[in-house]
């Protein structure tokens, strides 16, 4: 059995679909709450749905767990409750790491490109105390993920026991099916799709940097299927590599590129309305992200990543199909 926290969420439900489709038994830890989040898992066989408050009772009584994939988190970059974010994103991750260590079970977890802050230190996933100490996340969410990365490094540096294999993934800008419950945190691809679908121009922020033209803010956008492929590769590995790795495509693309790719895929006019960046985002907005991917490649993941154009074209097909959940 694979224990998957956040299994009804965006990346989690896509991973659930791949694992369940291959016949793997999966127990998910998540809250479905009101709304449509349940649709993310409706098509897949789930062994158990465990509420987070019942997690420790569950893992103490269940048959052997083959691996823990910890994707559950408060992922809103606008979150402000520091105590809640610390409990959810840091303390729980620490407890799961320690449990996997004691049980000798592989442990994978979600970090984030938000740990890199404004990008002034680059996007190198070097795993050392000095390299991590140089990073300055811009928001509470990024800090919480960074705090756990640093805690893991310290555990290992001090020679403390660890899971037999562990994987941290610094997810960059993920987009694709099953993200619809995320509200304001939905991907920019989905937001711009919906604007075009409503017959409106795509709205893009004007640049808040004098050296950067409007629409030339760039991000490393990654198709959710590629994230699932990396996690599936690691889980299927007989001797999985341990480490903290970036997970993007390695190629930054502009927001203007993204809108043009959407217009082509949707066969609509490529129109943009330029708007000022909200005051709440100024100073917290990453104008450039690009994952350094050589370390994951050296660890053995060799499959190609989906181009922005191909990922968007596939996403548009899914959204048009009448069955947008996968």
Give catalytic residue positions.
Answer: 141, 182
E strand segments, the chain? 2-5, 26-29, 48-50, 67-70, 107-112, 166-171, 173-175, 202-205, 218-219, 221-223, 243-247, 253-254, 272-275
Q: What pairing do the DSSP bridges indicate for beta strands 107-112 and 67-70?
A: parallel
Beta bridge partners of 27: 3, 48
Give dist(CA 252, CA 170) in Å, integer. 15
Q: CB count, 10 Å around CB of 122?
A: 13
Residue 174 half-sphere exposure toward CB, CA atoms < 13 A: 27
Report the alpha-carbon distance of residue 7 to residue 29 in Å, rounded. 6
How are beta strands 253-254 and 218-219 bridged, if at all? Answer: antiparallel
Q: Determine how many CB atoms are found less than 10 A away from the CB of residue 156.
A: 14
d(CA 94, CA 190): 33
Residue 164 in 3-state DSSP?
coil
Distances (CA, A) of 182 to 7, 29, 40: 14, 17, 12
**27 close to 89: Cβ distance less than 8 angstroms:** no
Task: Answer whether 251's CB lies under 8 Å from 290's CB.
Answer: yes
The partner residues of 26 in beta bridges, in order of sequence, read: 2
Angstrom distance (rounded) from CA 178 to CA 114: 21
């Amino acid at each position: 059995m694979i224990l998957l926290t956040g299994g009804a969420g965006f990346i989690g439900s896509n991973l659930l679909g791949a694992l369940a489709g291959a016949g793997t038994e999966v127990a998910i830890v998540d809250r479905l709450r009101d709304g449509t989040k349940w649709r993310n898992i409706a098509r897949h066989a789930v062994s158990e749905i465990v509420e987070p408050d019942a997690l420790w009772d569950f893992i103490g009584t269940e048959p052997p767990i083959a691996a823990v994939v910890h994707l559950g988190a408060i992922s809103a970059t606008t979150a402000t409750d520091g105590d809640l974010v610390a409990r959810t994103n840091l303390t729980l991750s620490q407890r799961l790491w320690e449990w996997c260590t004691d049980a000798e079970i592989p442990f994978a977890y979600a970090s984030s490109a938000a740990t890199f802050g404004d990008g002034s230190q680059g996007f190198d996933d070097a795993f050392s105390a000095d390299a991590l100490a140089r990073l300055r996340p811009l928001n509470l969410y990024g800090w919480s993920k960074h705090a756990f990365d640093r805690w893991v490094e310290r555990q290992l540096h001090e020679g403390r026991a660890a899971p037999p294999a562990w994987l941290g993934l610094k997810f960059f800008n993920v987009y694709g099916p099953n993200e619809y419950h995320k509200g304001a945190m939905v991907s920019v691809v989905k937001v711009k799709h919906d604007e075009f679908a409503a017959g409106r121009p795509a709205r893009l922020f004007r640049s808040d940097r004098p050296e950067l033209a409007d629409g030339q803010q760039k991000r490393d956008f990654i198709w959710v299927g590629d994230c699932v492929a990396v996690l599936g590769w690691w889980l299927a590995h007989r001797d999985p590599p341990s480490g903290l790795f970036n997970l993007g495509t390695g190629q930054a693309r502009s927001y203007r590129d993204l809108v043009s790719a959407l217009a082509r895929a949707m066969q609509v006019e490529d129109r943009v309305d330029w708007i000022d960046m909200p005051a709440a985002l100024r100073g917290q907005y990453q104008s450039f992200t690009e994952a350094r991917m050589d370390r994951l490649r050296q660890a053995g993941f060799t499959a190609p990543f989906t181009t922005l154009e191909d990922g968007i074209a596939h996403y548009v097909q899914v959204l048009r199909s009448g069955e947008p959940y996968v």
